[in-house]
Structure formats: structure tokens, C-alpha cells
Structure 1
Amino acid sequence: MNAQAREFDYVIVGAGTAGCLLANRLSADPANRVLLIEAGGRDRYHWIHIPVGYLYCIDNPRTDWRFRTEPDPGLNGRSLIYPRGKTLGGCSSINGMLYLRGQARDYDGWAELTGDDAWRWENCLPDFMRHEDHHRLDPGGDADAAHRDFHGHGGEWRIEKQRLKWQVLDDFASAAVEAGIPRTRDFNRGDNEGVDYFEVNQRSGWRWNTSKAFLRDVEKRDNLTLWHSTQVLGLEFATGEGDEPRCRGVKAERSGEEVVATARREVILSAGAIGSPQLLQLSGVGPADLLAEHGIPLVHELPGVGENLQDHLQIRSVYKVTGANTLNTMANSLWGKARIGLEYALTRSGPMSMAPSQLCIFTRSSEDYRHPNIEYHVQPLSLDAFGQPLHDFPAITASVCNLNPTSRGTVRIKSRDPRQAPAIAPNYLSTPEDRQVAADSLRVTRRIAAQPAFARYAPEEVKPGVEYQSDEDLARLAGDIGTTIFHPVGTAKMGREDDPMAVVDSRLRVRGVRGLRVVDASVMPTITSGNTNSPTLMIAEKAAAWLRETS
């Protein structure tokens, strides 16, 4: 490859959720030469595309970075797997496919924290809608007027109904209504309170990842170059105006050779809430003490790089049921598995089309909250832990997470080697507020399961167990049974100029460094009140518009 081929206008690190959209939008202008770099390979693994295949993609070196958390005191010393996508499409290739935006108050809060009204809900909504292709707006769809006000059609990001129904989940939903939780038709209008089935990022029973949505149809553009299976080793800097460093490109290993790709305009980090702070730290941008510890020359001190880690911790309650059809009973026989496979082959429906969770509930853990502060992912199955066999008795799992945790964690490099995973310390349940929400949310689960609509199944609480009743017992049990729901954010947060922990400004430019932005979930100052994939796409849509304005 000659030197000219290594010079671009924009270099994007990470072909995941944000990176694929950015590559699409920036290369739409033929005057822009864009390089997109991905450490993983192409998304050709068949289990990426079959919805239930997330079971075979998570913790698989072919598709997952296979991170692990540090032993966590809040989890009573346990360490968790911490999946992050390592393939085209990134986490959208291995995640739960659930389409949630969060709540309007999330984005209004970002506007207050950054001093920039561009982040207010009403100014984010058009960025959500710009790439949407919502099923209710299809010809013959059942959209009401509000759907047309809040959703888009004809964009790249397909949103569909799930292609299955479970009576036991229908009855759990009815029990939630009896417990005082309203039904809803749409979790994405700014107030997501209610109960309904999740909508999913699928197309006709196949996973719809960002590689298919934003990259596949434009990859052959003459001005777009894709380097997959390419490990970025670090950022390259030059002295800028007033001795302020300028990011001039990246150093990467490609086909066993070290290469430098330079950016005439900007380098954009879209490596995610773990990868982006790791790369900044490795390149000399971050907390001075941490960099000195590893002998990394300081390019620019930003103490917030790798701090402010937030995640949703799900607490899994398991209820054994009688007289119900659940996946435990269907999938624990060869005949049942054959029927499941045949249904998917013929109709692209049934359990193989399942997202990891089917029924959704947003509600309050107590009357102290004016807004929904917990979210349920309810499934017609149960197991001891992810990757373990299904139980041999019929059961459902009602997982609940605190939407707005006050606990904060860190991502910090362990060495100068870019191939060594950083230390990931979420610090779950490290505040009294989070421990109280954990205890209260388990009580909400019990209240729903005790309603008349669910009584026909004679539900028996297997986990955590009815013998645990006090706040202290339930918080401790939450630490025993809680697992990540894979939503890390915040490790390169945006903020005002007077916020010493802000890594990027409100337009996502790295503070004190020219020519460098971060565009992924790491820039969220606070976690959204729901799943984080589609908010990350919104952030990328907004950033793409700003980049086009300055090109």
C-alpha cells in the first residue's frame, strides 16, 4: 500500500454501532475520503444473524473481546463476563436487539450538564427518527398519529415486532397491570412507563445489525476504505497551534505490518465505552498518574478518561410455574429442539427468532420516584447463569435493573500493550441508593407475581427465595445474583468547560486536543433510562451532522 492510500480526511476507529453510521454519513460526500478500521473480522458468522445466536456469539473470541470485570465488592467478590462486540457491527452484532431510546429527562439532563440545548429531547428526536424504519409506518401498518410524530420510516435502522407470543408472558403482563402498571403501545415517546413486548432490530426474523444497515450498501464507494481485522495500536500526535497537540492519525497493525493512517481533518474514536478510553490512555491522553505508572509519555492530561463508568445491573428472579409452556420444557428434548429449528426454517419465527428478552416493564421501585426508575426484561425460561443449561422444570425469569444507578466505576489500562484488556471495575451496588433500589425492586417483582392474573401458574420463587425479606438480605442477594445487562457508558463523558472530569465538549471534541473526537456510548454523562444501543446511534447521527458542517 503506497503512502497516498494511507492518507484520508477522516479516520474512524471502530466499525460498531456508531462507526458504521459515521462511515455511511461522512462518505456520502464524495469529496471526503474516509477510513473505517475494525479490529474484528467481517460479520459472516451465521450465528450473528440468527437472533438466538447471541448465545453463541457472547464470550466467543470470533465475535467478542471477552472482557472480564475485576472482582467486585458489590457483587460479593464475583467477577463477570463483560461482552463487547469484536466484528463488523460491533455490539449490534451480539446484543439483545431491543429498541429503546430512554426517557426525555435523560437528554434534558445532558443539556443541563453540557450547557448545550442540542442535547434536549426535542432536539434529539429528529436524530432518532432520521435513520428509523419503523414497522408501524409500513403500508398497512397500525400507526396512530403519535407514531407518525415520534417515529421515522424508510431509514436504515429497521424496527419490528417480535415474531412470537407466550401465554405465560401475556399473563405476567396482565399481572403487572393488576399491580398498577399501565399498558403501553410505545416505549419510545419520552415517557416509557408501562408494560408491553419489546420491539426489536430485526428484519423478517433476522438480526439487523449496523453493518447491514449502514455499511453493506455503501462499502463499495470509491471514497470509503474498510480495514477489518486491523488492531489500532495508538494515536499519532503532532504539535498544534499554541503547542496544543493535534491528533494526526493512528498507528495500526494490518496483516502483520505496522501502518500509519493520517487524517487531514479528524480522527474519530468509536471503539466503545471500554475501547475508547483504553486507546486514549495508551496514547498519552488521560490521568497523569495512571500514565506515569505505565511509563507512557503524557500528551495531554484529562483525569476523566476511564472514570464515570456506569452500567445497568440486572437482578434475576426465577419463578417455577406449573401448567405453562416455557422454553425450558420445549428445548430440553431432541423433538422440541427439532420443532424449534423447523419453525424457524419455515417461517423465521418461534424461539430461534427470540431476542434475549421478550416482555418489557418500566415502573417505579417505590413511591419516592416521580418517573420510572426500574426496567424489567422478562423471559419464558430460566437457568443458573448465562451459558448454563436451561432448568429441567418450567419457569420464567423476571430480571430487573436500576435505570439510574449512582454507583460509578472505572476503566484503566494494565500495561502499555494494546492487546491486554484493561481493568474494568463497575463498582456495582456501591452506594446506599443503589442497594435500596435493588431491595425495593425485588419486592416489586414479588408484588407482580402475586397478582391474580398469574395465580393460575402457582408461581414458586426459586431465586432469590422468599426466606429473604429484609433490605440487608435482599441487597446482599442482589450482589449474589446480579449480572451486567451489557450497557457500559460514560468513560469519556461530555461536559462543560469548568467540569474537570469532562473528556469531550458538547460537540464531542476531546478537550485540549485538536482533530480528535469521541463518538460512542462513552460520551454519555449519565446512562439512559433504557437500553443503550439506539441512543448511541442517535449520538452518531448528531455527530455526523456536526462533522459535515465543519468539512
Structure 2
Amino acid sequence: MLKPYQVYNTHSLSLCYNDYLLLQLLLCFWSSLFSLCLSLARNTKKILYLLQVAHKNSSMAKSICFCLQKLVFFILLSAIVSHARPPQVLPRQEPSYLKFVFNATDLPSEDYYDYIVVGGGTAGCPLAASLSHTFRVLLLERGGIAYGKANLMTQDGFLSTLVEVNAFDSPAQAFTSEDGVPNARGRVLGGSSAINAGFYSRADMDFYKNSGINWDLKLVNESYDWVERAIVFRPELKNWQSAVRDGLLEAGVDPYNGFSLDHIPGTKIGGSTFDSFGRRHSAADLLLYARAANIRVGVYASVERVLLASTTPFSGSRQSAIGVVFRDSNGRYHHAMVRRHGEVILSAGAIGSPQLLLLSGVGPRPQLSAWGIPVARHSPYVGQFLYDNPRNGISIVPSIPLEHSLIQVVGITEDGAYIEAASNIIPFASPARSVFIHTPSSPLYLTVATLMEKIVGPVSSGSLRLGSLDVRVNPIIRFNYFNNPVDVRRCVNGTRKLAGVLRSRSMEDFKFRDWFGNRDFRFVGPALPVNQTDEDQMADFCRRTVSTIWHYHGGCVVGKVVDGDFMVMGMNGLRVVDGSVFGVSPGTNPQATLMMMGRYVGMKIIRDRLRYS
């Protein structure tokens, strides 16, 4: 008898640095403050003498005032740092779906199912849950579960999850594209919905027109509703998000649409997968809808390839998916096979699904032959048309303490820019090692506020190719950010709109006042160009500061690799249901669209099977 996956629950919140850049900034801050104070103590008499001389010399007075201004900034920043606190989050009860979640080591060496879903992520979980109401389903996830890991279960663990990575079992699998931009993939039950910023918004209506899929919009809306009843909440705005909302409206990003789950131009408050206690609800929670008797979920199950065969004498060169081979954490191999009329469905994401097709012999013949992989089907566009929404923005140290917040308010412009914001409370000093605070109950935290813009629908595309025959190793990826001048122009326009938000009255409270009464921001990292009318400077800023917003898609695009029913063209019994099929962006954070799509395809398969049975 199989034993359900056991959870050793801990609710302690591990603390880590945001990134090395911030660490260097903070070390520099403390070092400068200590040196400045020490210098003042040693040179009191000299300073008094200089002040007497400065009374007769205005330029010297300004120099001394400049130094004192920096001292005041350091002292004020110290006060802000010492008073910031991360939110306290209540633990969640153990989810009931864990009773059908098993470590892959406990799964049989061979078994048969109606549907095998590869990838327990944002689309895979709702897909498997839906199919289980009628069919016997196996859901295979290469990572573990989020429950019991505080960084994954709470919004204040967002940055820690992205920083604390390793090669083979961290919930976030890091990779850096050939563009030089760091990125991440979800490697946990729930996929990227278990590590993202939680923003939830339905796709742009143009997405349904241009995606190449003949959507049943009634079923689309029913599928969204199914998701939203379980895991979507209305966020409560605090000071930073409220100020950004007001700043967007002052900058002309209107109308104000209030709270809305629709993707519409203007300023709005979107949905969140974090509840009012700051607890995350990922796609894994949609497994609560599953029929427990019909579903088995295997974690730490690394699927290495899809098994393909000619199933009938009349199929000729057309092959069918008959199962998958996966390896457990002990290195033991298992075979999961599909029954008659069954299917293998890849939901491994925009990186994982094209990678698995290539490893299974479906892809460009020259690439497969170079790796010695037998060619099951020459499909030249596998791994092609890969997109990522480029992100650019600024970060500031605010002059007042801010609450921790992830994406809640967004501004959507008519010319393709998408502006959003976050504020993060980052621990950066252990009390035991702090020179300034000696009580263990008083840790130090720094608040950093971020304002960013992304391009809603990038035109520039890249590709991926195998870098190893080991499925656990990331493929080689290039997104070609800003390769198309249309994307550059959109970034410039969006960055100018972001600058308009910074100039708004609502941002005044977050500026520091210098010795002469002037107010300005204290930036962490690059500031916007001073001359924002200069096209070349703005374009250079876009290229120089580009980063990801983790919304990559494509690689198994509809019309190139899969058809309008998500079936791999030229194959039987093999589908792809995830963001890799998107040749156009949903416009907003894709998680809502992906969860909807998982439910949508599951219900459509059930209806089609019943119709033709």
C-alpha cells in the first residue's frame, strides 16, 4: 500500500539577503556611517575651527553642509531600517490533497493510466484535477511540495525563494539566458504559481483572437470562475500601493477601474493569490477539486522522455505517445503507460515542454542528430518563437517605513506599457552581529520600494536548444530582448510614463530632504536618465537595465508545433498544455490564463470523449 507524502512542517521564516548588490550597498552604508562618526569624534576641535572659518567663506560652508547632509541621511536611514518589520503570517492547515500525493520512490515501477500529466505546475494541477472526475490520472512533478516551507507559503518569502537556489531540488531553478539576464523556473508542486508575486488578472481580449486557438468563450469564463472561487482574493492596499495608484492617475494612466480581474486600459487593483493573512494559494490548491480515488500525484519524479511507438500497422511513420519514463530521487526508473485512447500531456512550462519534446525525438532533425537522439518526428519549430516580457524600472529607499507588498496595483497604457510596483522588507543584519543593536529581539530590516514597467506583448523572440541529455540541466536559452525596434520604442514610452509617476505629488512623501531643503529620491541601482526626452539615452537605459518579469512563453507555439486542440502535430496521443503554446502574450501576468487553460482543456477532453464514445 502506498504511503502519502509526509510533511515535516516548520513555520520559521528563514532570512536571507535580497541580492549581492543590495548586500554591498548595505555594507557600504554601515561602513561609511561608522567611519563618519569615528572621524567626527576624533576631529571635534578641527570641525569647530572650520565652522568659524566657514562663517567667512560661503563655498566652504556649502562643503561642510554637504557632509552634514550625508550624515543626516545616514542617521535617518538607520531609523527607517531599525523600525521596518516583516509581516507576521499565520500558518495554514495541512491541505487535504496531500492524501493522494506520494514521493516517486513509493510509486510502482510500472502502472497504467488514462492520462499522464507531466508537470504539476500552473496549468498541470487544474488539468489533472479536472480530468480525475472521469478518468484515472497520474500527475508527475519534478519538485516537492510547498506546504511546510514558510518562504513558499507567505508573500514575505518571495525574494528569499528566488535567491536560495541550487542545481537540482530548490523550489526555484535558476538559469541565465545567453542575453545575460538571470531568470527562474518553478520546481515545486504548483509550479511558478508557488514562487511568483501572486498577481491575478484575466487575459487581454485580443489574446483570444490572436492565439490561434478556437476558444469556447463560455467555457473560458466558467473555467476562470472555477479557479477564482478557490484561490483569488482582493488585496488590501497599504501606503506604497495606494501612492502608486494615485501616481498612475496623476500621470494620465486612466480611467480608474477600481478592483477588476479583467485586463483593461487604465489603472486598477488586480486580484491576488495571497489571502488577507499573507498566505499563498497556488495552483496546487486546485487539486482540492480532484476526485481522490482517481488521481495519483508523484513528487520528485523527473520525467526523462516520452515513450513513442507506431501503435497500428496503418499508422506508418505517425507515432503515438504510449507512456513516459521517469526517475525518482533514488535514481530508480519507472514506466507510466497510457491505456487505450489515453494521452500523455506535457505541462512542464515554456522551458520544460520543448526540452522534453527534444529529448523524446520530436524537434529539428539537425539538432537531434547532433545529440544522437533518434528522430521520431522532424518538427523544426520546437524551441523556436520563445518570448520573455522585458522588465525595466527603478528602486528607492523610501524616507518613511513601508509595509511589505507584492504586485497589487497596475497601470495599463494604450501603447503597450504595463506599470506595477512592489515594496519589500529585507532582513540584512543578524542581531548577534550588529554593532548598533544588542537585543536579540530587534533584527534589522531595510525597505526597498520598486516601480517597474514591462512590455505587454514583446515582438522580439528567441529560442532554446539542448545543452545536455540530462533533463535536470537547463537548456540553452536566448530571448533576444529588444532585438526588434518596436519593443525598444514601447519600453521608452513606458519608462517615460514611469517617470511621470515619480514626478507626481503622491510620491513626495517618499523623498529625502537635503540640507538646503530640496527633496529627492535615494535610488538603489540605476536612476532614470535625467534627459528623458533623449531617445538614445532612454533606449540605452532600456537595454542596460533589462531584467525578466518571469512571464516567458512560446517554444511549442500553436500552428507551428501544436494544433488548435493542443495536440502535437503529426503525433497521436500527445498534447502540450502550458505557456509554451502561446505565440502571443496574455498581456498580464499569465498565471490566471494558465490555470484557466488547465481547467478548460480538462473539461474539453471530457466532453469530447463523452461525445464520441
How do 1:491-502 residues align onto structure 2 when only pairs under 5 Å count? 491-495=555-559, 502=560
Q: TM-score, normalised by structure 2?
A: 0.71
C-alpha contact (below 8 Å) 2:152/2:194 kept by paired residues = yes
1:361 to 388, 411, 418: 411
User: CA offset at residue 468 of structure 1?
Assistant: 5.0
| Aligned residue number for residue 49 of structure 1 | 153
C-alpha contact (below 8 Å) 1:248/1:267 kept by paired residues = yes
1:374 to 409, 417, 422: 417
Please give the alpha-carbon distance, in whole angstroms, between the structure 2 residues aligned to 1:81 and 1:4: 37
- Aligned partner of 1:478: which letter? C
C-alpha contact (below 8 Å) 1:179/1:448 kept by paired residues = yes
2:602 to 524, 544, 547: 544
SS at match of 2:256: coil
SS at match of 1:23: helix
Query: What are the superposed Cα offsets for residues 188-218 of structure 1, whole Å, 9 maximum, x if unpaired?
Result: 33x522223332112342100111x222464
User: CA offset at residue 362 of structure 1?
Assistant: 1.3
SS at match of 2:495: helix
Residue 244 (1) aligns with residue 340 (2): no
Count residues in correspondence: 464
1:125 to 221, 227, 238: 221
* Pair 1:172–1:471, CA change in 2 (3 A): same
| Aligned residue number for residue 497 of structure 2 | 444
How do 1:314-463 residues align onto structure 2 when only pairs under 5 Å count? 314-319=391-396, 321-322=398-399, 324-326=400-402, 351=404, 354-355=405-406, 357-364=407-414, 369=415, 373-380=416-423, 396-455=449-508, 457=511, 458-460=519-521, 462=523, 463=526
Query: What are the superposed Cα offsets for residues 140-170 of structure 1, whole Å, 9 maximum, x if unpaired?
Result: xxxxxxxxxxxxxxxx3x211224511x442
Please give the alpha-carbon distance, in whole angstroms, between the structure 1 residues aligned to 2:202 and 2:107: 44
Residue 89 (1) aligns with residue 153 (2): no
* Pair 1:318–1:54, CA change in 2 (3 A): closer
Please give the alpha-carbon distance, in whole angstroms, between the structure 1 residues aligned to 2:507 and 2:159: 29
* Pair 1:256–1:394, CA change in 2 (3 A): closer
Please give the alpha-carbon distance, in whole angstroms, between the structure 2 residues aligned to 1:3 and 1:174: 57
- Aligned partner of 1:26: which letter? L
Query: What are the superposed Cα offsets for residues 487-526 of structure 1, whole Å, 9 maximum, x if unpaired?
Result: 111111112xxxxxx1111110110010000011111121
C-alpha contact (below 8 Å) 1:186/1:192 kept by paired residues = no
Please give the alpha-carbon distance, in whole angstroms, between the structure 1 residues aligned to 2:232 and 2:260: 13
C-alpha contact (below 8 Å) 2:306/2:357 kept by paired residues = yes
Residue 285 (1) aligns with residue 325 (2): no
Residue 257 (1) aligns with residue 332 (2): yes
* Pair 1:483–1:159, CA change in 2 (3 A): same
Please give the alpha-carbon distance, in whole angstroms, between the structure 1 residues aligned to 2:219 and 2:132: 24
* Pair 1:321–1:18, CA change in 2 (3 A): closer
- Aligned partner of 2:307: which letter? E
| Structure 1: segments with no counterpart, 5+ residues | 73-78, 134-155, 327-349, 384-390, 496-501
- Aligned partner of 2:401: which letter? N
SS at match of 1:188: coil
Residue 69 (1) aligns with residue 176 (2): yes
User: CA offset at residue 533 of structure 1?
Assistant: 0.6
* Pair 1:505–1:479, CA change in 2 (3 A): same
C-alpha contact (below 8 Å) 1:321/1:459 kept by paired residues = no
User: CA offset at residue 123 of structure 1?
Assistant: 5.7
Please give the alpha-carbon distance, in whole angstroms, between the structure 1 residues aligned to 2:345 and 2:448: 46
* Pair 1:90–1:34, CA change in 2 (3 A): same
SS at match of 1:411: strand
- Aligned partner of 1:200: which letter? S
C-alpha contact (below 8 Å) 2:350/2:554 kept by paired residues = yes
* Pair 1:172–1:230, CA change in 2 (3 A): closer
| Aligned residue number for residue 138 of structure 2 | 35
SS at match of 2:477: strand
User: CA offset at residue 316 of structure 1?
Assistant: 1.3
| Aligned residue number for residue 172 of structure 1 | 244
Please give the alpha-carbon distance, in whole angstroms, between the structure 1 residues aligned to 2:185 and 2:109: 33
Please give the alpha-carbon distance, in whole angstroms, between the structure 1 residues aligned to 2:554 and 2:197: 20
User: CA offset at residue 122 of structure 1?
Assistant: 6.0
Residue 109 (1) aligns with residue 210 (2): yes
Percentage of identical aligned residues: 27
C-alpha contact (below 8 Å) 1:316/1:398 kept by paired residues = yes
* Pair 1:417–1:63, CA change in 2 (3 A): closer
C-alpha contact (below 8 Å) 1:107/1:124 kept by paired residues = no
CA RMSD of aligned residues (A): 2.5
User: Please, which moves more after superposition, 443-452 or 300-309?
Assistant: 443-452
SS at match of 1:202: coil
Residue 226 (1) aligns with residue 297 (2): yes
SS at match of 1:214: helix
C-alpha contact (below 8 Å) 2:115/2:138 kept by paired residues = yes
- Aligned partner of 1:68: which letter? F
SS at match of 1:16: coil
Please give the alpha-carbon distance, in whole angstroms, between the structure 1 residues aligned to 2:289 and 2:487: 44
C-alpha contact (below 8 Å) 1:307/1:409 kept by paired residues = yes
C-alpha contact (below 8 Å) 1:69/1:426 kept by paired residues = no
Please give the alpha-carbon distance, in whole angstroms, between the structure 2 residues aligned to 1:215 and 1:409: 34
2:199 to 98, 122, 130: 98
SS at match of 2:185: coil
| Structure 2: segments with no counterpart, 5+ residues | 1-105, 427-443, 512-518
C-alpha contact (below 8 Å) 2:529/2:538 kept by paired residues = no
C-alpha contact (below 8 Å) 1:16/1:271 kept by paired residues = yes
* Pair 1:244–1:491, CA change in 2 (3 A): same
Please give the alpha-carbon distance, in whole angstroms, between the structure 1 residues aligned to 2:536 and 2:206: 31
